[in-house]
């Protein structure tokens, strides 16, 4: 089965109205407050409108906004109906929270409408189908990404001072690490095209996929473990791979494993293994796997302790109990906690909004540049973090943060300005998903980061990230184009082994 991407070019508003109407009726039947249910209907409708105004679900901005709407509100409301619970239950200020989120989504929609006419047809990051360029790009990025990861692991922490190393060569490699998924995307695209769309995973494509997944295990990182599966699916869709029944069964099994094994592993593991020193992380992860995760008695004891701690703090309990991965798709609860805290403690003003601007100058010009953990600040404001925890990040999203900063004025102005600029930039950089490894790459980043972004991180995505992305893009393309003739010359000098290796890759 080949998915027709033409159908996903825009969100069908008529279908959205039908589904939103069904949700409205079902919420009333489960006892949800009328005002809350009406606002949930409005949020769903304006999310669809915002996605379309941002270019549709196949664009980087449109996909990111769709994920924002789904993960913050929409998925959770359907889940509450499924469990027979009112949508406003287990929230402290439910009507205010859904009202803030709906107004914020309207602001995002208006931002897309404003900049839409300014976006031209020419894109900088163009589709790519040359198999030699795709393979070369994958190999170069893999080597660079692996070197960056390992170097930062062994040199990115000062054992004497106990501080994370920033700036200098380590700082450059930290910045470069973001490109690693390009290796996986290019390898899968290469395999699909070189095989005539008959295969999607070969020997080479499996290497970057497995490497990233392994690093995710070692660092107990949900994003690093789950991202390879997402970008695999997105790349297959982008390059027209034909899925068969066995592929659907395999994807379903992987999804079940993610929910039942990988997510609990990362969720529990992060409480025991997170350390500023990456090498210490590896040791702690090894101990966690051996002494806790693979020991049923210890595992049950730890799970009970963490569930009790979460219950006492009323954290991540939108459904009345720990729901694992579903809680990560139900960020309305965290938004509610922050909006409730605003009523008790007052607005933060410019305190968090300017964090991103303070972090913009390069460290070469600003050696004492601060590093802000804005989401950690919100964790303390909502009293969901301990006094000594200055590393854990609590996901909120820019709408609730805008309310925390300036109230309703912030909700109207900040999402509008931030997302209008974001849409203009990234829809100019890249077109739609089709045959475009760069669009797949950016969607893979922002399907997660845009949802949980703070205003400071959005600031960096707007003013800093595009420069880093473009410089990296042009250097990579130039490097691969220089190396390709050398590869051909090497084939002529040493024809048997090199050519055999190339044939092996071409047939995978």
Is residue 97, in this structure, part of any structural domain at all?
yes
**pLDDT value at residue 497:** 41
407: left (phi over 0), alpha (psi -120 to 50) or beta: left
Q: Can you tell me which residue has the tokens 């991202």?
A: 227
Contact 491, 499 (CB under 8 A): yes
Domain boundary among 417, 434, 455: 455
Q: Can you tell me which residue has the tokens 């992060």?
A: 270
The radius of gyration of the chain from alpha carbons, rounded to an integer in Å, stands at 23
**pLDDT value at residue 316:** 54
pTM for the structure as a whole: 0.86
Residues 101 and 133 in one domain: no
Number of H helices, E strands in the chain: 25, 2
Residues 430 and 414 in one domain: yes
Sign of the four-CA dihedral 316, 322, 328, 332: negative
**Total structural domains in the chain?**
2
* β-strand pairing of 157-158 with 163-164: antiparallel
| 33 φ/ψ angles, rounded to the nearest 5 degrees | -55, 140
Residues 131 and 233 in one domain: yes
Residue 164: its H or E element:
strand 163-164
As a 3-state breakdown, the chain gives helix, strand, coil percent values, each rounded to 5, of: 70, 0, 25
d(CA 280, CA 119): 47
Is residue 380, in this structure, part of any structural domain at all?
no
Residues in the chain: 508
Range of the domain at 409: 5-118+351-356+395-455
Is residue 291, in this structure, part of any structural domain at all?
no
Contact 433, 5 (CB under 8 A): yes
Q: What is the tens place of the pLDDT at every residue in 149-187?
A: 877 777 666 555 555 555 566 767 777 778 889 999 999
Is residue 67, in this structure, part of any structural domain at all?
yes
Residue in 151, 286, 153, 160 with CA at minimum distance from that of residue 218: 286
Q: Give pLDDT tens digits along the chain (508 positions).
A: 666 788 888 999 999 999 999 999 999 999 999 999 999 999 999 999 999 999 999 999 999 999 999 999 999 999 999 999 999 999 999 999 999 999 999 999 999 999 999 998 889 998 988 888 999 999 999 999 888 887 777 766 655 555 555 556 676 777 777 888 999 999 999 999 988 888 888 888 899 988 888 888 777 777 788 888 889 999 999 998 888 787 778 878 888 887 777 777 777 766 666 655 666 666 767 676 766 666 666 655 555 545 544 444 445 579 988 787 888 889 999 999 999 999 999 999 988 888 888 878 877 677 776 666 787 888 888 887 766 666 677 778 899 999 999 999 999 999 999 999 999 999 999 999 999 999 999 999 999 889 988 899 999 999 999 999 999 999 999 999 888 887 766 556 544 344 444 444 444 4
* Separation of CA 506 from chain center: 32
Contact 382, 337 (CB under 8 A): yes
Is residue 313, in this structure, part of any structural domain at all?
no
d(CA 165, CA 163): 6
Contact 175, 472 (CB under 8 A): no
Is residue 257, in this structure, part of any structural domain at all?
no
Residues 133 and 60 in one domain: no
Residues 410 and 508 in one domain: no
Residue 157: its H or E element:
strand 157-158
349 Cβ neighbours under 8 A, 6+ residues apart:
405, 406
| 425 φ/ψ angles, rounded to the nearest 5 degrees | -65, -55
Q: Please, which residues bridge with residue 125 across strands? A: 430
| 430 φ/ψ angles, rounded to the nearest 5 degrees | -135, 145
- Maximum C-alpha span of the chain: 76
Residues 181 and 226 in one domain: yes
Is residue 270, in this structure, part of any structural domain at all?
no
* Separation of CA 266 from chain center: 16
Is residue 72, in this structure, part of any structural domain at all?
yes
**pLDDT value at residue 310:** 47
Structure tokens at 468: 């880093």
- DSSP characters for 19-69? HHHHHHHHHHHTT--HHHHHHHHHHHHHHHHHHHHTT-TTBHHHHHHHHHH
**pLDDT value at residue 53:** 97
Residues 222 and 148 in one domain: yes
Residue in 281, 279, 275 with CA at minimum distance from that of residue 391: 275
Residues 176 and 106 in one domain: no
- DSSP characters for 450-484? HHH--HHHHHHHHHTHHHHHHHHHHHHHHHHHHHH
Residues 165 and 214 in one domain: yes
Residues 15 and 110 in one domain: yes
Q: What is the tens place of the pLDDT at every residue in 294-308?
A: 666 665 555 554 554
């Amino acid at each position: 089965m080949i998915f027709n991407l033409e159908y996903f070019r825009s969100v069908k508003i008529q279908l959205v109205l039908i589904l939103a109407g069904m949700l409205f009726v079902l919420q009333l039947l489960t006892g949800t407050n009328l005002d809350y249910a009406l606002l949930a209907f409005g949020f769903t409708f304006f999310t669809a409108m915002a996605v379309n105004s941002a270019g549709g679900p196949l664009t980087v901005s449109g996909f990111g906004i769709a994920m924002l709407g789904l993960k913050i509100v929409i998925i959770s409301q359907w889940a509450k109906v499924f469990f027979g619970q009112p949508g406003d239950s287990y929230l402290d200020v439910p009507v205010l929270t859904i009202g803030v989120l709906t107004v914020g989504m309207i602001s995002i929609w208006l931002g897309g409408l404003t900049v839409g006419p300014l976006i031209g047809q020419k894109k900088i990051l163009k589709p790519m189908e040359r198999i030699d360029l795709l393979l070369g790009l994958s190999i170069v990025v893999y080597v660079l990404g692996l070197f960056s990861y390992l170097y930062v692991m062994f040199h990115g922490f000062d054992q004497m001072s106990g501080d994370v190393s920033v700036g200098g060569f380590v700082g450059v490699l930290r910045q470069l690490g973001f490109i690693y998924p390009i290796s996986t995307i290019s390898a899968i695209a290469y395999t699909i095209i070189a095989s005539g769309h008959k295969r999607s995973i070969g020997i080479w494509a499996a290497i970057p996929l497995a490497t990233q997944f392994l690093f995710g295990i070692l660092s107990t990182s949900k994003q690093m473990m789950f991202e390879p599966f997402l970008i695999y699916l997105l790349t297959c869709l982008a390059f027209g791979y034909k899925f068969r029944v066995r592929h659907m069964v395999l994807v379903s099994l992987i999804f079940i494993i993610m929910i039942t094994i990988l997510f609990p592993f990362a969720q529990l593991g992060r409480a025991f293994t997170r350390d500023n020193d990456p090498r210490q992380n590896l040791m702690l992860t090894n101990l966690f796997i051996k002494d806790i995760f693979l020991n049923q008695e210890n595992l049950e004891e730890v799970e009970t302790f963490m569930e009790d701690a979460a219950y006492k703090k009323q954290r991540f309990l939108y459904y009345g109990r720990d729901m694992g991965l579903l809680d990560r798709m139900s960020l309305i609860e965290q938004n509610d906690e922050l909006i409730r805290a605003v009523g008790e403690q007052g607005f933060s003003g410019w305190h968090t909004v300017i964090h991103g601007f303070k972090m913009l100058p390069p460290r070469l010009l600003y050696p004492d540049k601060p590093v802000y953990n804005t989401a950690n600040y919100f964790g303390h404001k909502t009293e969901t973090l301990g006094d000594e925890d200055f590393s854990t990040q609590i996901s909120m999203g820019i709408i609730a943060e805008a309310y925390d900063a300036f109230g309703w004025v912030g909700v109207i102005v900040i999402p509008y300005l931030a997302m209008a600029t974001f849409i203009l930039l990234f829809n100019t950089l890249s077109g739609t998903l089709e045959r475009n490894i760069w669009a797949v790459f950016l969607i893979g980043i922002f399907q997660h980061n845009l949802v949980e972004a703070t205003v400071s991180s959005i600031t960096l995505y707007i003013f800093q990230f595009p420069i880093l992305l473009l410089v990296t893009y042009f250097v990579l393309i130039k490097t691969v184009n220089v190396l390709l003739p050398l590869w051909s010359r090497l084939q002529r000098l040493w024809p048997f082994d090199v050519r055999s290796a190339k044939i092996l890759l071409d047939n995978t």
